[in-house]
Every structure is written in structure tokens, then in C-alpha cells.
């Protein structure tokens, strides 16, 4: 969406009436991008993007948001007294910390009204200890309420994941644990102070940056236009190839786009001397981008290749060397891959085994293209399991179904050694979380994808726990089968590379 809006802006004059609407689209896309980054950071799949920022404007913006979101029966008082304070932080996450603390406070006062007080001030010459280190000065952000307070016995546990004193359905118990994780990732500390009947105060302390680092400026250069060089563009999504082809043609390149890697490889076999570059997606049906690059270098040694993907798992130098001597893997910009959901398989899946058992669909005149991978599919919902089993079999996988963890362990005990496991969470006899723990003990490197539609609690609660137990990806029902299939492909490509 963002990429097409960018191109549309280039196509219309600056004073065109459509420009305002296009700028709003760009702003919306940027907000969505930032939200996805925060979600990935919370689930520990992406590191915070920290830089030196003034903290008071961030807090002021968050307070303004809270004034429009918190019920009018709760008065918000703010005292922001650190106009020059700078911290090394991800601004969006700092705001998320404040929003989570304020949400926790107003929920504590729900139904009775009250006062929410937010203070920000710099503390110079004070000691702050975080992760075993010392910092002489810090900025202090506090959020206080005059609600019922927290029982002294509960205070040591308030930052534990899933701990909550509220009734079922009124909270997941994750808000304060997320705050704790963000603050720790910023080398800070967070504390809670409360007495029953006297409200609660949560205080966040972050190290101050005393000096603004010198930024070394360099001369900026414009984008280099092509001179008619031919690029082979390969992606299994038609919308992606259409969009990227428009960009490349705009900058003076010739483009031949293909939506299957086999078509692109056949083009190279027929005529390769005129091709300057192969630009390919990483995860595609039938053949991955890595495999395509390897085959391309057999046909045309030394051909430059760029492998692009919407996924967050990086390619190591070893994997790139397998793709060929002139392959590179830049991160694909979010606006060129907004249609793909990011899944981040763990590198621990590298120990998963692959078998060279080609199906007819995976065979060409040169021999087998892909191994057949074994998938253990565990779900007590028979219609759902059967539908997904048929889809995965159509994709060329050897699928063995099981109704719950007990049956799945029996299948494994009978000799079926899966390359990947897909497991529901809420099941009879043995639930998915227990099953995942047993799998980790039996075969630590076996990749597991957890799926859930909930049950007794929010599905996200189960899936968060599954991720902490080692699940490489999680999906909340209902989900698109294509999204799951693509996550499987990337996970298995990571395992065998």
C-alpha cells in the first residue's frame, strides 16, 4: 500500500488535490508499520530501535492520547519537568510503557473515579543500577493513582507474566510484564509502591544521556539510475512483481518478471548472457530463493543475485555462500512487503532433518528440486485438521495427523520423525503446552508452530506461553492457510540451509 502511494505521489503534481489524501495514506501506513514493530519487539522477535531522543515530548504526546482515551470520571494531572532530558530509547516503546502503566492505573480505579498523576523529572547526581552497571543520572517517570492499592503480598509478583488480581476476562496479566521487559531492554529499572487503600505508584528510571553524540554527516547521493540493464524479478505474488517492476522501470532498468522460480530458471537456461541481475524472493513454492540462486550460478557462474524477503530472520554469511559467490540479502522495506505476515523461525530449528524423497511435482528434467518434509499436525478439531491436512498434502508435504498430544507422542513413538510440528494448544488428555515441553525434551531443535483459537482464556495468552517454550511461530485462529504455509516454507528452508 505504501509503495503504491509513493509511486502515486511521484505521478501527480505537488499542487494536485489528491496529494493530501495520498499523504494521509502514507501516514497511516507508517503508523501501522510502527505498531507491527512494537508487537514484534514485545514478542522478542525484533530488537528495539534505540536512538538519542528528548523524552518530554514523547511523554506529552502520550498524555494527550490518554486524555482522549481514559474515561472522563478519572482526572489526569501531569507535571512534566524535564524539558532538556535525553535518553537512548525507542520512542514508541517509551510511550507504550506510559500507556500500559496508565491503563493499569485507571482500571484499578474503574467504577469509582479518581486521580491519575503523571510526573517526569530529571535526577542528576543520583545513582541508578541496571544490569549490574551504574549510571550517575537518570530521568524518572512515575504514574500514580488513588485507587484501592495493591496487597503487600502481591507486590513482588506484579511484573510476572500472566499474574493478575482481576477477575477472569478483565485482563491478561501481560501489561506490567511488557513494561518490565521494555524498561530492562533500555537499561532502566521499574518499581512498584503501594499500600491497600492508598493507591499505587509505578516509577520508571532510565539513564540520561548527558551529551549529544556528534553526528558525522556525509554527502548524500541520489539514487543511481539504470541504463537499460536487464533484471530478472522473481516473486510468487503477482502484486509484488508488478509493483517492483514499476519501480525498477522508473529508474531506467529493463525487467522480466516471473511468478515461479522454475520459469525464471528456464529463461536463464535459454538465454542468460543479457541478464545483469537476479532479484528473487526467499520463500516460494517449489524452490526457495537460495535454491534458485544456486541453480542460476550453475547456468551462469558469477551472476549477481539479490535475495529479498518480508521475514525478519536474517541470512547468515554461511547460507549466502551456499546461494553463490555474488548473492546478497538486504532487508526488504516494509512498504514493498506489506501483504506478507512476518514469522520469525528460531535458528534452533537448524537441526531439523530433511529427506530427499521427491514427489513428481518437485522433479524436473535435472532431477529432484525439493525434499519431501514430514509434518506432524496435532489438533482435536477434526474438520479443521482434515482441511489443513489436505492443503499441506497439496503443497507436497508428508502429513501425519493426531487428535491431541497423547496421540502425537504415540505417532512419534511408532517411528514417524517429523521435520516440523504444528500443534493446537487447547486439546483433551494432553494440551499443546505440555506437548511442546515434551517435544523440547525429546528433540530440542525440532521446530514447532503453535496455533490456538483460545478456550478458557484469550488465545494470545496461550500463544505467548508457547513462544516462550520455544515455538518458532504462532497463529491465532482463524488464520489464512497461505500465511501458515509460507511460515512453514521459511522455517524448513532455514532448517535445511
The more confident residue out of 193 and 8 is 193
Residue 262 pLDDT more than 90? yes
Per the model's pLDDT, the better-predicted residue between 339 and 483 turns out to be: 483
Using the predicted structure, report yes or no on whether residue 191 has a pLDDT greater than 90. Answer: yes
Q: Are residues 355 and 331 in the same domain?
A: no
- Nearest-CA neighbor of 137 among 84, 52, 207, 85? 207
Same domain for 68 and 37: no
One domain for residues 203 and 244: no
Mean pLDDT of 75-100: 90
Task: Find the mean pLDDT for residues 462-486.
Answer: 82
Residues 369 and 319 in one domain: no
**Mean predicted confidence (pLDDT) in 412-432:** 87
**Number of structural domains, the chain?**
4
Write down the pLDDT at residue 219: 40
Per-residue pLDDT tens digits for 112-170: 778 999 999 998 765 555 544 455 689 999 999 998 888 887 888 888 776 666 655 45
Q: Are residues 178 and 75 in the same domain?
A: yes
Please state, in angstroms and rounded to a whole number, the distance separating the CA atoms of residues 43 and 327: 30
pTM of the model: 0.42
**24 plus 168 within the same structural domain:** no
Q: Using CA atoms in the order 354, 360, 362, 366, what is the torsion angle rounded to 10 degrees? A: 110
Residue 125 resides in a domain: yes
Crossing angle of helices 55-69 and 91-108, rounded to 10°: 40
pLDDT of residue 124: 77
Of 248, 249, 330, the closest CA to residue 289 belongs to 330
Please tell me whether residues 170 and 149 are part of one structural domain.
Answer: yes
Q: Are residues 92 and 169 both part of a single domain?
A: yes
Residue 158 lies in a domain: yes
Residue 377 banded pLDDT, cuts 50, 70, 90: very high
**CA pair distance 87, 191, nearest whole angstrom:** 19
**β-strands 51-54, 86-89 pairing:** antiparallel
Residue closest to 88 by CA, chosen among 237, 177, 208, 203: 208
212 in any annotated domain: no
Q: Determine, yes or no, domain membership for 225.
A: no
Cβ-contact 258, 233 below 8 angstroms: yes
Claim to verify: residue 305 and residue 355 sit in the same structural domain: no
Given a cut of 60, whether residue 462 has pLDDT beyond it is: yes
Closest listed residue to residue 375, CA positions, set 345, 353, 359: 353
Quick one: pLDDT at residue 131?
A: 46
Position 220 scores a pLDDT of: 40
Give the C-alpha separation, 174 to 326, whole Å. Answer: 45
Confidence grade of residue 435 (pLDDT, cut at 50, 70, 90): confident
| Residue 343: inside a domain | no
Stronger pLDDT, 237 or 166, i.e. the higher one: 237
What's the mean per-residue pLDDT of the chain? 76
Tell me the average pLDDT across 252-281: 93
Considering the domain architecture, whether residues 243 and 315 belong to the same structural domain is answered as yes
CATH number of the domain encompassing residue 392:
3.40.50.2300
pLDDT exceeds 50 at position 343: no
Q: Is the model's pLDDT at 319 over the cut of 90?
A: no
What is the mean predicted confidence (pLDDT) over 466-472?
Answer: 82
Residue range(s) defining the domain that contains residue 28: 2-42
User: Given this model, what pLDDT does residue 354 score?
Assistant: 29
Residues 58 and 161 placed together within one structural domain of the fold: yes
pLDDT of 261 over the 60 cut:
yes
What percent of the chain stands above pLDDT 70?
74
* pLDDT recorded at residue 36: 63
Say whether both 78 and 192 belong to one domain: yes
Phi-psi region of 429 (alpha: psi -120 to 50; beta: other; left: phi over 0): left
Q: Would you say residue 373 lies in a domain?
A: yes
CA distance 176 to 189: 13
pLDDT at 367: 37
Does residue 362 surpass a pLDDT of 60?
Answer: no
Q: Which CATH number covers residue 85? A: 3.30.565.10
Q: Is 495 a residue whose pLDDT tops 70?
A: no
**Grid coordinates representing 265?**
530458471
Q: 338 with 29: CB under 8 angstroms?
A: yes
d(CA 471, CA 478): 18
**Is pLDDT at 469 greater than 60 in this prediction?**
yes
Q: Report if residue 155 sits inside a domain.
A: yes
- Determine if residue 455 is left, alpha or beta; phi over 0 gives left, psi from -120 to 50 gives alpha, anything else beta: left
pLDDT above 60: residue 315:
no
| pLDDT confidence tier of residue 311, bands split at 50, 70 and 90 | low
The length of the chain, given as a count of residues: 497
- Please list the residues that pair with 205 across neighbouring strands: 140, 189
Q: Per-residue pLDDT for 93 more than 50?
A: yes
Residue 293: inside a domain: yes
Amino acid at each position: 500500500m505504501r509503495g503504491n502511494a509513493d509511486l502515486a505521489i511521484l505521478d501527480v503534481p505537488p499542487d494536485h488535490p489528491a496529494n493530501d489524501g495520498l499523504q494521509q495514506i502514507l501516514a497511516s501506513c507508517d503508523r501501522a508499520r510502527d505498531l507491527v514493530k512494537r508487537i514484534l519487539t514485545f514478542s522478542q522477535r525484533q530488537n528495539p530501535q534505540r536512538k538519542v531522543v528528548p523524552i518530554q515530548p514523547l511523554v506529552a504526546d502520550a498524555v494527550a492520547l490518554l486524555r482522549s482515551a481514559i474515561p472522563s470520571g478519572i482526572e489526569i494531572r501531569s507535571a512534566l519537568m524535564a524539558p532538556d532530558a535525553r535518553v537512548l530509547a525507542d520512542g514508541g516503546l517509551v510511550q507504550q510503557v506510559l500507556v500500559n502503566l496508565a491503563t493499569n492505573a485507571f482500571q484499578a480505579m474503574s467504577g469509582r473515579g479518581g486521580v491519575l498523576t503523571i510526573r517526569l523529572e530529571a535526577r542528576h547526581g543520583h545513582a541508578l543500577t541496571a544490569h549490574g552497571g551504574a549510571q550517575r543520572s537518570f530521568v524518572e517517570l512515575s504514574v500514580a493513582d488513588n485507587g484501592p492499592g495493591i496487597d503487600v503480598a502481591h507486590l513482588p509478583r506484579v511484573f510476572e507474566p500472566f499474574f493478575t488480581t482481576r477477575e477472569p476476562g478483565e485482563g491478561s496479566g501481560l501489561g506490567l510484564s511488557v513494561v518490565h521487559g521494555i524498561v530492562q531492554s533500555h537499561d532502566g529499572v521499574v518499581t512498584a509502591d503501594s499500600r491497600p487503600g492508598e493507591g499505587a505508584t509505578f516509577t520508571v528510571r532510565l539513564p540520561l544521556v548527558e551529551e549529544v553524540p556528534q553526528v558525522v554527516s556525509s554527502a548524500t547521493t541520489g539514487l543511481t539510475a539504470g541504463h537499460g540493464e536487464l533484471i530478472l524479478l522473481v516473486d510468487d505474488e503477482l502484486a509484488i512483481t508488478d509493483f517492483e517492476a514499476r519501480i525498477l522501470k522508473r529508474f531506467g532498468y529493463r525487467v522480466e518478471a516471473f511468478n515461479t522460480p522454475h520459469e525464471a530458471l528456464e529463461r536463464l537456461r535459454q538465454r542468460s548472457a543479457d541478464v545483469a541481475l537476479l532479484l528473487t524472493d526467499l520463500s516460494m513454492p517449489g524452490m526457495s530463493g537460495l535454491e534458485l540462486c544456486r541453480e542460476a550460478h550453475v547456468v551462469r557462474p558469477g551472476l549477481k543475485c539479490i535475495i529479498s524477503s518480508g521475514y525478519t530472520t536474517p541470512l547468515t554469511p554461511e547460507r549466502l555462500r551456499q546461494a553463490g559467490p555474488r548473492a546478497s540479502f538486504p532487508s526488504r522495506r516494509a512498504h514493498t512487503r506489506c501483504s506478507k505476515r512476518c514469522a520469525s523461525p528460531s535458528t534452533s530449528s537448524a537441526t531439523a532433518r530433511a529427506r530427499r524423497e521427491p514427489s513428481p511435482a518437485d522433479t524436473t528434467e535435472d532431477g529432484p528440486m525439493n525434499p519431501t518434509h514430514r509434518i506432524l499436525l496435532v489438533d482435536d478439531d477434526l474438520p479443521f485438521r482434515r482441511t489443513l491436512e489436505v492443503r499441506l498434502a497439496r503443497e507436497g508435504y508428508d502429513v501425519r495427523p493426531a487428535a491431541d498430544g497423547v496421540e502425537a507422542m504415540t505417532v512419534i513413538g511408532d517411528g514417524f520423525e517429523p521435520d516440523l510440528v504444528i500443534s493446537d494448544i487447547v486439546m483433551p488428555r494432553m494440551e499443546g503446552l505440555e506437548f511442546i515441553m515434551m517435544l523440547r525434551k525429546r528433540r530440542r531443535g525440532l521446530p514447532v508452530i503453535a496455533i490456538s483459537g483460545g478456550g478458557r482464556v484469550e488465545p494470545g495468552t496461550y500463544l505467548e506461553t508457547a513462544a516462550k517454550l520455544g515455538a518458532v511461530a504462532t497463529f491465532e485462529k482463524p488464520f489464512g492457510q497461505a500465511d501458515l504455509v509460507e511460515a512453514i516454507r521459511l522455517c524448513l528452508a532455514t532448517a535445511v540451509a
